[in-house]
Chains A and B, each alone.
Chain A
Amino acid sequence: MAGPEDAQPVLIVPALFEEANRTRRLLAQTMRALAERGIGSVLPDLPGCNESRSRLENQNLASWRASMAAAAQHFGTSRVLSLRVGAILAPPDLPGWWLEPLGGAAALRHLVRTRLVAAKEAGQPEQSDALMAQGRSSGLQVAGYRLSAAMVRDLEGSDMPTPGPGVAILALADVGGSALWLRSEPGEDADMAEALAATIARGMA
């Protein structure tokens, strides 16, 4: 949580898994830039991620969505900023900003592909059809994360969400940034964080 505590903070819904790690510093910088503009923000951990004491393999999209809705309620937030696939978890009634959103199916495909590339590199190639079948029935270990069968099925059935009337879709070009979530090492981008904060401040003015 950052910034003044008396105003309604912006709820930040992070990206998922490895993309979340790679954008953590960007979000921290954005929260500080928002605070400098007098705007509070809150970045909750999704159940089963980071410092959450819940187990990731017990989560599905419904539990994640419920936790984000509960956070919005608890902090009295009226705006949301989501990153990447976080858009599918953003409370649908909240106006705000979705940065480079994508659906769960696309995110899952990316995760499975990562595992396929790593397996091939290790000389033990796997087939995506077989992996997905296994994932739907008994869950999947991808890029160091243990996804439940329910989570695999939920993500597979999740298209890019339709933004509500108060939601602005932000592309990288809108904030002059680069795709930090695709990098092999976590990075930061102060200019992008400033641009994001300025966009949000304009929208709240």
Chain B
Amino acid sequence: MSKDVGVSAIDTDALLRTILRDVLGLDPAQVARFDADTGLFGALPELDSMAVAGLLTEMEDRLYIIIDDDEVDGELLETYGNLLAFAKAKRA
């Protein structure tokens, strides 16, 4: 897939759910139920530090963004809402 208008037009929310599903091996129905307040790091046993690194790398690859390591803190991964807001801001 190349970086073009078609890709960036794809809904960030849908892409982020797909990434979470693929990286963490979560049930699609579970991921579909995520809302802004759903807890991630510390709440999902699948999300350990290895998985966080994988999640960030996949977000970079699939959302065409660069994530600086300084931007990664507990708050970013606290809830799905926080992560989605970050991804949207990065893609804007």
Contacts and interface: CB of A to CB of B under 8 A. Distances in A.
Interface string B15-33: 0000000111100000000
Q: How large is the interface on B (under 10, 10 to 19, 20 to 34, 35 or more residues)?
A: 20 to 34
A118 B57 CA distance: 15
Nearest to A183: B25
Given A110-B57, A182-B54, A182-B58, A117 B23 contact: no
A116 B25 contact: no
Interface in A150-173: 172
Nearest to B22: A179
A137 interface: no
Contact of A114 (B22, B23, B46, B53): B53
A123 B23 CA distance: 25
Given A110-B57, A113-B69, A143 B22 contact: no
Given A110-B57, A113-B57, A183-B51, A178 B72 contact: no
Q: How large is the interface on A (under 10, 10 to 19, 20 to 34, 35 or more residues)?
A: 20 to 34
A128 interface: yes
B23 A182 contact: yes
B51 A182 contact: yes
B57 to A, nearest CB: 5
Interface in B35-86: 45-58, 69, 72-74
A128 B69 contact: yes
B58 A114 contact: no
A128 B46 CA distance: 24
A185 B69 CA distance: 24
Chain A at the B interface: SS class: helix
Nearest to A106: B57
B69 A184 contact: no
Contacts of A6: none
A37 interface: no
B47 A184 contact: yes
A106 B66 CA distance: 13
B72 A114 contact: no
A57 interface: no
Among B23, B24, B49, max chain A CB count under 10 A is at B49
B28 to A, nearest CB: 11
A114 B69 contact: no
B47 A120 contact: no
A187 B25 contact: yes
Contacts of A106: 57
Interface of B: 22-25, 45-58, 69, 72-74
22 contacts: A106-B57, A111-B53, A113-B52, A113-B57, A113-B69, A114-B49, A116-B69, A117-B53, A118-B49, A120-B72, A120-B73, A121-B49, A172-B22, A179-B22, A179-B23, A182-B24, A182-B51, A182-B54, A183-B25, A184-B45, A184-B46, A184-B47
